[in-house]
């Protein structure tokens, strides 16, 4: 996620150096199309400088950059260029303030690659699990308690009865060997093999459904999953999304059912849903494909926005006669967007003038 080389100022001259060799205090030059090699503080930039931070924050719109501090939050301040983000417009000169694992991207990568402590669902006893389902840890506790109890009972019987009534029958060495034998005999030695074989069979079944398990200890958890959710960045998919269902209160519609309900005018809530989907949306139809059917049009924008915009268009084209006048884009701090749009309607046939304001949040 970092470029192989970057342009820096060294010994008063600009030179290209490997991005891995950057140190704190380096002066770095970045421009349109570059990937930011480290966390930088913007010292000077053109007026059209913008960064695509979607890889870190999920923001679909590019964020403008300025030399001035705009927020106390490091992630939100516009004078910070974070490693791994793209320069989509303009150019800038920045001061390296964090490199490697100390960058925001590096800390996220380190957290995602480090092992987490704790037990898996198979290993822990959970009060939410059906009592008839015996997890491995509970089973081990039961077997361990039984084996220790039998071993202690054997020693107690020897010490209280056999050692006094038959002193030559069992010595100290023999009773220790007997107690250890009883302790080991109760433990099912085939348990690890049985559990491993069972998990391997489940892992193979998951693999046939294109679910790859990196560790056998997670197989039991994945085997109990009904819905598997993944990110929207296209890491696991083609980054093409479509709306399958829409819900209004307790009523759920498929896309086809929503279209029929809109035509019949059965659900007024669908009209509001369509307005929100179309107007609070950063995606746009490509002008070259606007004459094609909705399913074949090319859309420019984030995958999620594209799917919602296509869904809104399938419910009806009249929504797109609104014109946006003001927009507050979504960002990771506010976690919402605001869109103010105008719609010109014929209130008077003679004047053909009228104005309605719609606010979508």
109 CA to centre of own chain: 13
Q: From CA 82, how far away is CA 312, in angstroms rounded?
A: 35
**Residue 104 CB coordination number (10 Å):** 19
Q: Which residues pair with 91 in a beta bridge?
A: 31
Strand, helix or coil for residue 214: coil
Query: How far apart, in whole angstroms, are the C-alpha atoms of residue 59 and residue 85?
Result: 11
Name every residue whose Cβ is closer than 8 Å to that of residue 309 and which is 6 or more positions away in sequence. Answer: 277, 278, 281, 283, 284, 285, 299, 301
Contact by Cβ (8 Å): 310, 299: yes
The helix/strand/coil state of 277 is helix
Find where tokens 């038959």 sit.
166
Report yes or no: 310 and 295 within 8 Å, Cβ to Cβ. Answer: yes
Inter-helix orientation angle 303-315/269-279, to 10°: 140
Distance CA 304, CA 241 (A): 6
- Give the C-alpha separation, 103 to 193, whole Å: 44
Give yes or no: 231 in active site.
Answer: yes
Q: The tokens of 45 are what?
A: 């930039």
From CA 198, how far away is CA 200, in angstroms rounded?
A: 5
Element (H, E) at 327: strand 323-328
The active-site residue, picked from 231, 286, 302, 346, is 231
Alpha carbon of 253 to those of 272, 281, 305, 310: distances in Å? Answer: 15, 21, 19, 16
Give catalytic residue positions: 231
């Amino acid at each position: 996620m970092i470029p192989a080389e970057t342009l820096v100022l060294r010994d008063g001259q600009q030179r290209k150096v490997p991005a891995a060799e950057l140190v704190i205090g380096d002066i770095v030059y970045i421009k349109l199309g570059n990937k930011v090699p480290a966390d930088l503080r913007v010292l000077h930039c053109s007026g059209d400088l913008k960064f695509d931070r979607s890889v870190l924050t999920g923001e679909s719109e590019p964020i403008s950059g300025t030399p001035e501090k705009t927020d106390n939050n490091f992630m939100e301040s516009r004078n910070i260029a974070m490693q791994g983000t793209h320069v989509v417009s303009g150019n800038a000169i920045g001061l390296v303030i964090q490199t490697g694992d100390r960058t925001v991207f590096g800390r996220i990568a380190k957290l995602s690659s480090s092992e987490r402590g704790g037990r898996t669902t198979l290993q822990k006893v959970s009060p939410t699990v059906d009592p008839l389902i015996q997890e491995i840890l509970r089973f081990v506790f039961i077997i361990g308690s039984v084996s220790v109890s039998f071993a202690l009972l054997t020693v107690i019987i020897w010490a209280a009865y056999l050692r006094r009534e038959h002193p030559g029958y069992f010595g100290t060495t023999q009773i220790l060997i007997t107690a250890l034998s009883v302790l080991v005999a109760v433990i099912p030695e085939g348990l690890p093999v049985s559990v491993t074989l069972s998990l391997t069979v489940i892992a193979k079944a998951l693999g046939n459904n294109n679910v790859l398990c990196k560790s056998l200890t997670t197989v039991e958890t994945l085997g109990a999953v009904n819905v598997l959710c993944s990110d929207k960045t296209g890491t696991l998919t083609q980054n093409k999304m479509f709306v399958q269902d829409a819900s209004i209160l307790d009523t759920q519609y498929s896309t086809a059912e929503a279209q029929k309900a809109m035509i019949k005018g059965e659900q007024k809530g669908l009209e509001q849903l369509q307005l929100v989907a179309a107007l609070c949306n950063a995606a746009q139809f490509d002008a070259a494909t606007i004459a094609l059917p909705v399913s074949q049009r090319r859309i420019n924008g984030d995958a999620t926005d594209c799917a919602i915009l296509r869904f809104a268009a399938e419910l009806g084209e009249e929504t797109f006669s609104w014109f946006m006048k003001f927009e507050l884009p979504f960002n990771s701090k506010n976690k919402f967007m605001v869109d103010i749009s105008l719609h010109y309607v014929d209130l008077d046939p003679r004047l053909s003038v009228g104005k309605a304001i719609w606010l979508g949040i």
